[in-house]
């Protein structure tokens, strides 16, 4: 994509794995005309997995992605071009959901755990949760690449996996249907960069004013999302992207995420959240301890500073 002038509507290819619940501010920005207001037109690229979303940016198939940041961190410390430019979500609104008959994390020994990736997001959170119950990976349980949260729910129902981390409102849906909630991920990991806006340094530099316009639109959308007074706008969109058949479940999920403080004000990347992301990568053997300090450089704050 060539460099863009900051006039008129500019097209942006935005990638993600599932483009589900955590994308609520994006869809609000789109449907409320906030992107258009700032001169941006979005082309959505649903990649089916968080790793594919990261690769789409790295390979030039997408301009930006909203996805867990671990792939960008790993690329950066190897001298790559991926950068974090803002945070999209800084809480983990999910539970460890197990099939009936499993009532504790310790009972997952020898079991199969569904995840969307082996190197990003859900796999890391699950390892931390199970480690607190004395279970180590590899050895004490196995991961199954079951896909995004909707696919993990299908796999749980089919008996293909024994448990999976499931976000709200699917955790509530599972509990209502007799599945067991073994623990809240946010209790073990209070603050983290759950999903970030990532881009490629060369593209970001060539399109800096365009990136700033995109971030300005999302900053406004986050403010709308976080204000309960806007539920007449936010809840129908959240219901559509989560549980179309149940406004009640959607309402529970939205209230749960908002209470956690999931969507950061002004897309801020808190030091604590970034440090937690890096720390968990080290603990999951996805990042060398010696690279802990260097990894913080993955966040290029210039674009967010300009947007704010």
| The pair of three-digit structure tokens given for residue 277, joined into one six-digit string | 């992301």
- pTM beyond 0.75: the answer is yes
| The pair of three-digit structure tokens given for residue 129, joined into one six-digit string | 């949760």
Summarised one tens digit per residue, pLDDT across range 247-291 is 999 999 999 999 999 999 999 999 999 999 999 899 888 899 999
Beta strand 163-167 pairing with 195-200? unpaired
Distance, in Å, from the CA atom of 251 to the CA atom of 238, rounded to the nearest integer, reads 8
**Region 52-67 average pLDDT:** 96
Summarised one tens digit per residue, pLDDT across range 75-94 is 999 999 999 999 999 999 99
pLDDT score at 4: 42
The yes-or-no verdict on residue 240 having pLDDT over 80 is yes
Q: Which domains does the chain have, with CATH numbers?
A: 10-91+192-307 (3.40.190.10), 94-188 (3.40.190.10)
Residue 1 — very low, low, confident or very high, per pLDDT cuts 50/70/90? very low
Rounded to 5 degrees, φ, ψ at 200 are: -100, 130
- Of the candidates 217, 187, 242, the residue with the CA atom closest to the CA atom of residue 86: 217
| The pair of three-digit structure tokens given for residue 37, joined into one six-digit string | 């207001």
Q: What single-letter DSSP state applies at residue 121?
A: T
The yes-or-no verdict on residue 120 having pLDDT over 90 is no
């Amino acid at each position: 994509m060539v460099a863009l002038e900051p006039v008129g509507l500019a097209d942006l290819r935005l990638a993600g794995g599932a483009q589900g619940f955590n994308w609520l501010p994006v869809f609000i920005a789109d449907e409320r005309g906030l992107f258009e207001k700032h001169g941006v037109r979005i082309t959505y690229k649903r990649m089916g997995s968080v790793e594919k979303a990261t690769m789409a940016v790295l390979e030039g198939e997408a301009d930006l992605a909203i996805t867990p940041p671990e792939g960008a961190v790993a690329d950066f410390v190897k001298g790559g071009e991926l950068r974090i430019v803002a945070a999209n979500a800084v809480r983990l609104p999910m539970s460890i959901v197990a099939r009936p008959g499993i009532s504790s994390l310790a009972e997952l020994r020898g079991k199969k755990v569904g995840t969307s990736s082996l190197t990003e997001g859900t796999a890391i959170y699950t390892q931390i949760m199970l480690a607190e119950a004395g279970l180590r990976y590899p050895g004490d349980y196995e991961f199954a690449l079951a896909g995004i949260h909707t696919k993990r729910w299908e796999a749980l129902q089919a008996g293909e996996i024994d448990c999976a981390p499931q976000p709200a409102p699917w955790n509530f849906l599972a509990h209502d249907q007799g599945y067991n909630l073994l623990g809240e991920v946010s209790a073990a990991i209070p603050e983290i960069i759950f999903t970030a806006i990532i881009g490629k340094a060369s593209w970001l530099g060539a399109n800096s004013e365009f990136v700033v316009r995109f971030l300005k639109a999302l900053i406004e959308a986050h403010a709308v999302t976080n204000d309960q007074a806007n539920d007449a706008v936010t809840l129908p969109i959240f219901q559509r992207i989560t549980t179309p058949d149940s406004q009640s479940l959607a309402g529970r999920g939205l209230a749960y995420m908002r209470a956690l403080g999931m969507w950061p004000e002004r897309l801020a990347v808190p030091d604590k959240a970034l440090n937690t992301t890096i720390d968990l990568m080290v603990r999951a053997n996805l990042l060398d301890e010696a690279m802990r300090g260097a990894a913080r450089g993955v966040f290029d704050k210039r674009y967010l500073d300009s947007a704010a």
